[in-house]
A and B are shown apart, each in its own frame.
Chain A
Amino acid sequence: MESNELEEEEFGFSRNYFLAKELGGSSKKSARKASDINLVDEQELREAYAKLEFKHEKEINNLVNSYRKSYAEWVFMLRCGFGLLMYGFGSKKGLIEDFASTALTDYSVVVINGYLQSINLKQVTVALAELLMEQLKTQRKLENYLKNQQPFHTQSMDDLISFLDGPHWDDGESFVCVVVNNIDGPALRDSESQQYLARLAACSHTLMVASTDHVNAPLLWNKKMVHTEFNWYWYHVPTYAPYKVEGIFFPPILAHSGSAQTVKTASIVLQSLTPNAQNVFKVVADHQLANPDGEGMPLNNLYTVCRERFLVSSQITLNAHLTEFKDHELVKTRRNSDGEDCLYIPLSSDALQKLIHEISQ
């Protein structure tokens, strides 16, 4: 019986798809423009978000609180060797951090904010290795191992992972826990990051709790990763909590796309970038401040300056930074009179100074 239902479901799914396609094609397409809507500035929007009152706050709190009785089960599943993957609509950041800080007190917990643009997994792994080392030291389990040990930050990723996966010095109860908010976040979507995360999750001394929001998140992993490395145990925990931080980095569709970037947004984006990227931005900013009437900094000049200051090692890395800037409209290009591509920041000098001041803090 159930197999028939299954087929029925599958057919239903494809039928829906074609119906929707048909509907889109046949009905007269509306010619109304998105820009007709009375739009607001992104800056104002961001400010409004913070003040926005969300509906059903009480119910959301009740819902989130109701998950507390599952904490014991979650811990049990973690100990059994599964990774916990929380999914369902709503921000789960508050929930899993609460879970970690109340139910996982026996383990050190490191939180990765996957919704940010720049995450260096090597640094995370170093931090994890240091925590584990500290934990093992207090239990005096490592005396022989410590003798000829390099500092962790000089070790390769493979060495770090094999340390975390290391031999069982103890009763198998020394763990560090990794909490990943939005494991499907923009910075973690490439396969290399996911491979590293999977290898981290598979280590014998790590536990992993992660949340995912995207409906297609499972496409990030192959079967080996899902079933043997992450070993996910899926939990459906819709919270309906607003995606406050997670939403910051999405360019809103209903804001004025041409409106000037403001200091606040720019600084949020910049702060989430690597120090090198920030410094590249500063180079452009300095140039613009020095030549307020100029057309911007020629690309070649920027590359030379950045190379001299050891900010980038190749044109490719510089381009990667610039793509990031352009995506967030921190920097724009225009041709100068010589036909060169010039980079400029669409901010007034005052605003720019303020921005530089903010990110230098």
Chain B
Amino acid sequence: MAPSADPETSPSISTSNTDLQPFFLLHKAASRKPSSKTRRRIDLSPKASDASAQEYNDNSRFETFKLLWSNTESIIKDVLKNLNTTVFDGIDKWVHASFDAIRACRTPDFTTAMSMYPIPNNVPIGAQIFTALLFTKNVESVDDISTFADLGAHMRSSGCLVANLTSIDFSAKNGVGGCLKTLLRQFLLAGIDAPEMSILASWYNEQENYDKPLIVIIDDVERCSSSVLNDFILMLSAGLRLQYSLTCKWKNLAIDREWVIKVPIILVLGVATSVDALRNILCSSACLYLSVCEFNLGTPAERMDAVIEAVLLRSCQSFNIGKHVATFLRNYFLRHDGTLTLFVKALKIVTAQQVFSEPLSFVLRKLVNEEGTEARLTFLFFLFVYHLIELLYTHYLIFQGLDGDNILLREPAMKRALELPSLQRFWETSGNSIDWVSALSELKRLHQLWSSLVMCLYEIGRYRKISLLDLYCEMLKLKQQNFGANDLNLVEKDYSTSVHNYQSPGCLLDKGYIVRAFQMLRDLSAMELCKILDRWEMLTRGIEKIHEKVKELQSQITLEEKRSRHDLRKESKRPTARTYKNDKTSNSTINEKVASFLQSMFREYIQTIESIPLHEIIFFDNVDNLNTAKYCLSGQLYFALIGDPRRRIQADLLESRKFLKCSCCSKNDGVLVPSMHDTSIMYTLVQEHGDLINVHEWFHSFMAVISNPPLQAKKKLRMSPSPKKRKDSKEARTKTDASIQAVTELQITGLLRMPTKRRPDYVQRVAFGL
């Protein structure tokens, strides 16, 4: 069925009968190999077959990735969940209060719930549906998918019955029947062909469901079809009877009952903009039925900072990103995308790329596994060193970890380990091996210091709304010599000269966030300073040296405060202006002390990423492909993430010789030669036109290019003056065919708009410039 793959021949470009089938089975799964999970002991001898070693490598990489990513993912999930806890708790309280209100209004029982008409006698809240509006403050609903899923889970855990719907369920095509179907599917956990509210009612009245609030969460209310949403709300509430009995397509829906009372549905609607959105979507009669309460989620920037703090700074034993990648992501977040989802996806890509391309990435696995257990880690790497030496003899190394799994280190990995520039310092002169233990503990220590100092700085920045993302990027960019300066003023100077050309908002280093943070520190009031020191005290726990000094500072401040209070009492009778001045000077001296402390910490402990041992493994900063990406750093990530087909397909066509590397065309750089790829010639010709291209001219210039024979051929032609006419016409035909094929290919890529009836002789350009 499939073109059989022969490794020697090229991937077939053949047309077979499967080409015209809408879909076909290429092949079935081969009989499964023993699962990758079963940990086997690999044959240690150098004879071990390459294939099995390759497979083992693949699996080892995959396991590393799985571990790293599941770790990161769970951190992100927890952070986001924690951010929303207060809002979720608020909604939870409100739901239960509303449910009580509904039930207080009228206690439904089994008989009345199912009967047609006893409309409840006292309905003070009428047919009102309790509705929570959850403002997401984010136009991109993609970030909120997980928020709403979390909310659903939260409500379920507090004893509610929940259905999560999205705007797709409220499409005009499926109508209210479609959304009812999804609703029933989620509540009843079964597909139902003829959706009816009565099914929901009878299900709700089953013993195990009764007494629980029913919550319907709709993600992005603004994108719902307004008519469907109106119908849905009217259906839930009373009053629908009159409108629908005449026109309803779903006559058998049995809508003429007070569903709110019998089936106490509570709505939670995700709104991106403002409360007006609801009024715009719903008709006034539907709005009347809603009893609205408002809740607010955090902004995307807040979430971003929380994620960065948790993933990149707090969990410092695992994987991290370098300055180019960080800056690229920051710029893309602020200027283009604005979603956390893209950031998280980028992190995932980065993790995968790093694990795949870095032979030593399995070390990360160890770091994650052993997080927090220093003693074990050290022991583990003693073993590691031991086996490293062993490797010198065998070229293969098996690493018996404490958890019983084996890591096979092959020669390339070892070579790589020995060549890591950041490890050169740790070469032991005597033993001809690397002092892994100190290298790793150094890595860990420095990373921890680095992270906690960034966090300390961020604590100050919070007072003036400096985002962690900005600070983080700038810290990564700091150069070593800045720390050697005796005074931070030098650093400041350095910035002011180096950043003056960044004027536009959103640009990094607008005025140097670090410098600004230091300035702020000097201007803070005593109260704020106290608070910051308290936070620092918490942040630096576990880092003895800094922690001690922070405590010292704290005690100094309290002393100062006492003294100033004392002075204040003493001087209360003296003129006030002087008191104020005194107060200010004492305050600023404290601020200065704190600032100089932080400065000294920076000088002492912050090193550039490049000087951290093993940073190649820990920090992903793919700069190799800088040159391939024309306008952005960290090219590989950019293209994996966004692709940019518009630019690149054009580049493919205009620079075909770069890819094809043929001998015939690459000589004549920039000149059209007949041997070039037809479509490439055709598209290069397009560049000479405006937005409209006359097909006739275009065709003829193409013909001119391809019939312009190279010099040698021309000579030959002159020597043999009797070419056969028939052959000529055949050649011309082939050329026409080629041009037509080229146009078709341009059509497929969408770079041209085809002639229309209005302008039958012109094609239109769609893309302009690379």
A residues near B (Cβ < 8 Å) are 2-9, 12-13, 15-17, 19-27, 29-30, 32-38, 40, 45, 48-49, 52-53, 55-56, 59-65, 72-73, 75-77, 79-82, 85, 87-91, 93-95, 97-102, 105-113, 116, 118-120, 123-124, 127, 131, 134-135, 139, 156, 158-159, 171, 173, 176, 179, 195, 212-218, 222-224, 227-228, 231-236, 238, 240-247, 250, 252-255, 268, 271-272
Contact among B642, B696, B755 with A37 in the assembled complex (CB-CB below 8 Å): B696
A55 adjacent to B643 (CB under 8 Å): no
Contacts A101-B27, A223-B140, A228-B145 given; indicate if A215 touches B650 (C-beta within 8 A).
yes
Q: How many angstroms from the CA of A173 to the CA of B699 in the assembled complex?
A: 53
Q: Mark B62-100, 1 if CB is under 8 A from A, else 0.
A: 100100010000000000000000000000000000000
- What are the 5 A-B residue pairs with the smallest beta carbon separation, nearest first? A24-B690, A98-B11, A16-B769, A23-B690, A234-B643
B191 adjacent to A158 (CB under 8 Å): yes
Q: How many angstroms from the CA of A309 to the CA of B319 in the assembled complex?
A: 65
Contacts A29-B692, A59-B660, A171-B37 aside, 7 further interface pairs with beta carbons under 8 A come to A6-B631, A34-B760, A52-B741, A97-B12, A112-B22, A223-B142, A240-B659
Query: Taking the nearest CB of chain B, how far is it from the CB of A186, in angstroms?
Result: 10
Closest to B633 in A: A2
B737 adjacent to A45 (CB under 8 Å): yes
Q: How many angstroms from the CA of A43 to the CA of B637 in the assembled complex?
A: 46
B689 adjacent to A87 (CB under 8 Å): no
Q: How many angstroms from the CA of A238 to the CA of B240 in the assembled complex?
A: 59
Closest to B343 in A: A227
The answer, yes or no, to whether B754 is at the interface (CB within 8 Å) is yes
Give residues of chain B (126-179) contacting chain A, Cβ–Cβ below 8 Å: 140-142, 145, 168
Interface segment out of the listed B278-286, B386-394, B672-680, B719-727: B672-680
B631 adjacent to A9 (CB under 8 Å): yes
Interface segment out of the listed B2-10, B252-260, B456-464, B512-520: B2-10
B23 adjacent to A123 (CB under 8 Å): yes
B695 adjacent to A34 (CB under 8 Å): yes
- A and B contact pairs by CB, cutoff 8 A, 6 listed: A15-B769, A90-B652, A119-B22, A214-B750, A216-B646, A234-B642
The answer, yes or no, to whether B15 is at the interface (CB within 8 Å) is yes
B690 adjacent to A25 (CB under 8 Å): yes
Q: How many angstroms from the CA of A138 to the CA of B189 in the assembled complex?
A: 28
B62 adjacent to A255 (CB under 8 Å): no
Contacts A45-B740, A108-B29, A223-B140 given; indicate if A214 touches B748 (C-beta within 8 A).
yes
Contacts A52-B738, A108-B25, A195-B168 given; indicate if A22 touches B11 (C-beta within 8 A).
no
Query: Taking the nearest CB of chain A, how far is it from the CB of B55, in angstroms?
Result: 10
A234 adjacent to B639 (CB under 8 Å): yes
A80 adjacent to B65 (CB under 8 Å): yes
Contact among A119, A236, A271 with B23 in the assembled complex (CB-CB below 8 Å): A119
By a CB distance below 8 angstroms, the chain A residues around B5 are 98, 101-102
B643 adjacent to A94 (CB under 8 Å): no
By a CB distance below 8 angstroms, the chain B residues around A97 are 2-3, 11-12, 26
By a CB distance below 8 angstroms, the chain A residues around B15 are 244-245
Contact among B28, B345, B643, B754 with A227 in the assembled complex (CB-CB below 8 Å): B345
The answer, yes or no, to whether B438 is at the interface (CB within 8 Å) is no
A111 adjacent to B690 (CB under 8 Å): no
By a CB distance below 8 angstroms, the chain B residues around A156 are 191
Query: Taking the nearest CB of chain A, how far is it from the CB of B67, in angstroms?
Result: 12
B769 adjacent to A13 (CB under 8 Å): yes
By a CB distance below 8 angstroms, the chain A residues around B678 are 55
Closest to A246 in B: B748
The answer, yes or no, to whether B656 is at the interface (CB within 8 Å) is yes
By a CB distance below 8 angstroms, the chain A residues around B327 are 2
Closest to B751 in A: A215
A63 adjacent to B12 (CB under 8 Å): no
Contact among B349, B633, B676, B767 with A215 in the assembled complex (CB-CB below 8 Å): B767
A250 adjacent to B696 (CB under 8 Å): no
A113 adjacent to B19 (CB under 8 Å): yes
Query: Taking the nearest CB of chain A, how far is it from the CB of B79, in angstroms?
Result: 18
Contacts A65-B10, A88-B652 given; indicate if A23 touches B691 (C-beta within 8 A).
yes
The answer, yes or no, to whether B747 is at the interface (CB within 8 Å) is yes
Closest to A185 in B: B748
B641 adjacent to A254 (CB under 8 Å): no
A227 adjacent to B646 (CB under 8 Å): no
Q: How many angstroms from the CA of A109 to the CA of B660 in the assembled complex?
A: 30
A29 adjacent to B659 (CB under 8 Å): no
Q: How many angstroms from the CA of A40 to the CA of B641 in the assembled complex?
A: 44
By a CB distance below 8 angstroms, the chain A residues around B12 are 94, 97-98
Q: How many angstroms from the CA of A247 to the CA of B765 in the assembled complex?
A: 19
Q: How many angstroms from the CA of A19 to the CA of B339 in the assembled complex?
A: 34
Contacts A49-B737, A80-B62 given; indicate if A271 touches B20 (C-beta within 8 A).
yes
Contacts A59-B661, A61-B10, A215-B750 given; indicate if A105 touches B35 (C-beta within 8 A).
no
Question: How many residues of B are counted as interface, with CB atoms below 8 angstroms from the partner's CB atoms?
Answer: 123
B740 adjacent to A105 (CB under 8 Å): no
A76 adjacent to B61 (CB under 8 Å): yes
Give residues of chain B (633-661) contacting chain A, Cβ–Cβ below 8 Å: 633, 639-643, 645-646, 648-650, 652-653, 656, 659-661
A106 adjacent to B11 (CB under 8 Å): no
By a CB distance below 8 angstroms, the chain A residues around B648 are 87-88, 236
Query: Taking the nearest CB of chain B, how far is it from the CB of A38, in angstroms?
Result: 7
By a CB distance below 8 angstroms, the chain B residues around A250 are 744, 747-748
Q: How many angstroms from the CA of A79 to the CA of B29 in the assembled complex?
A: 15
A252 adjacent to B507 (CB under 8 Å): no
Q: How many angstroms from the CA of A1 to the CA of B496 in the assembled complex?
A: 15
By a CB distance below 8 angstroms, the chain A residues around B527 are none
B26 adjacent to A234 (CB under 8 Å): no
By a CB distance below 8 angstroms, the chain B residues around A21 are 690-691
A12 adjacent to B4 (CB under 8 Å): no
B694 adjacent to A29 (CB under 8 Å): yes
Q: Mark B34-57, 1 if CB is under 8 A from A, else 0.
A: 011100000000000000001000
Contact among B653, B690, B754 with A253 in the assembled complex (CB-CB below 8 Å): B754
Contact among B21, B649, B736 with A88 in the assembled complex (CB-CB below 8 Å): B649
Contact among A12, A111, A223 with B769 in the assembled complex (CB-CB below 8 Å): A12
Closest to B144 in A: A224
A247 adjacent to B23 (CB under 8 Å): no
A272 adjacent to B504 (CB under 8 Å): no
Query: Taking the nearest CB of chain B, how far is it from the CB of A226, in angstroms?
Result: 9
Contacts A106-B33, A118-B22, A234-B643 given; indicate if A228 touches B745 (C-beta within 8 A).
no
Q: How many angstroms from the CA of A240 to the CA of B640 in the assembled complex?
A: 21
B677 adjacent to A240 (CB under 8 Å): yes
By a CB distance below 8 angstroms, the chain B residues around A111 are 18, 23-26
A236 adjacent to B639 (CB under 8 Å): yes
By a CB distance below 8 angstroms, the chain A residues around B140 are 223
B690 adjacent to A215 (CB under 8 Å): no
Interface centre among A3, A40, A93, A113 (most CB of B within 10 A): A3
Query: Taking the nearest CB of chain B, how far is it from the CB of A6, in angstroms?
Result: 6
By a CB distance below 8 angstroms, the chain B residues around A131 are 25, 28-29
Query: Taking the nearest CB of chain A, how far is it from the CB of B737, in angstroms?
Result: 4
By a CB distance below 8 angstroms, the chain A residues around B168 are 195
Q: How many angstroms from the CA of A26 to the CA of B61 in the assembled complex?
A: 60
Query: Taking the nearest CB of chain A, how far is it from the CB of B102, in angstroms?
Result: 31
B27 adjacent to A56 (CB under 8 Å): no
A218 adjacent to B145 (CB under 8 Å): no
Give residues of chain B (699-731) contacting chain A, Cβ–Cβ below 8 Å: 699-700
By a CB distance below 8 angstroms, the chain B residues around A238 are 649, 652, 659
The answer, yes or no, to whether B185 is at the interface (CB within 8 Å) is yes
Q: How many angstroms from the CA of A98 to the CA of B661 in the assembled complex?
A: 22
Query: Taking the nearest CB of chain B, how far is it from the CB of A254, in angstroms?
Result: 5
Closest to A21 in B: B691
The answer, yes or no, to whether B356 is at the interface (CB within 8 Å) is yes
A101 adjacent to B3 (CB under 8 Å): yes
Q: How many angstroms from the CA of A15 to the CA of B32 in the assembled complex?
A: 57
Query: Taking the nearest CB of chain A, how far is it from the CB of B709, in angstroms?
Result: 14
Query: Taking the nearest CB of chain A, how far is it from the CB of B545, in angstroms?
Result: 37
B24 adjacent to A253 (CB under 8 Å): no
Q: How many angstroms from the CA of A2 to the CA of B629 in the assembled complex?
A: 11
By a CB distance below 8 angstroms, the chain A residues around B639 are 234, 236
